[in-house]
Amino acid sequence: MDLIATALFLALAANRVIEAFVAPIKQRYPNLDLWWLIYVSWIGGGALSFAAGVNLFATLLPMLNPTVGLVLTALVVGGGANLISDLFPTPHTLDLIGSITPPAPTTETVGDIRARR
C-alpha cells in the first residue's frame, strides 16, 4: 500500500510541477494547442518515478523484467498526473461583475418593437 501511496504522491507532484511551468505559457499564448502536454507529463512523471525507484509492478508481476516495470510505472505516474488533473479540476473563481453585461444600446422605439410582433 505504501508503494501505491508513493506513486500517487509522485503523480500529484508531477502534476503540480507541470502546471507551474505551463500556466505562464497558457497566459501568454491562450490559443496555443497543448496536445504535447501529455508527453511532458509522462517524461516528468517518469523522471520522478525513476529517481524514487518506484516499481508498482514488481509485486504484481514478479516474472516481469524490472526495467519494464519501471517504464510502466513511469507511464502510470506520468499519466496519473493528467488523470488527477481530470478528476480534480482546479476551481475557477466566479466573476460576478464580468458575467453581468448590460444590454446593447438600441435605436429602436417601442412602436418598432410592437410592429415586429
| Block mean pLDDT (10 aa), the chain, length 117 | 79 82 86 83 85 84 84 81 55 54 65 70
Query: For residue 10, how many other CB atoms are within 10 A of its CB?
Result: 26
What is the CA angle 90-93-96, rounded to 5? 155
How much helix, strand and coil, in percent to the nearest 5, is found in the chain?
A: 70, 0, 30
pTM: predicted TM-score of the whole model, two decimal places: 0.58
Query: What pLDDT is stored for residue 55 in this prediction?
Result: 87
Query: What pLDDT is stored for residue 88 in this prediction?
Result: 55
Domain limits of the chain? 2-116
Query: What pLDDT is stored for residue 2 in this prediction?
Result: 82
Cα torsion angle, 101, 107, 113, 116, sign? negative
Q: What are phi and psi of 87, to 5 degrees?
A: -75, -40
Query: What pLDDT is stored for residue 98 in this prediction?
Result: 54
Query: What pLDDT is stored for residue 76 in this prediction?
Result: 81
Query: For residue 54, how many other CB atoms are within 10 A of its CB?
Result: 21
Query: What pLDDT is stored for residue 53 in this prediction?
Result: 85
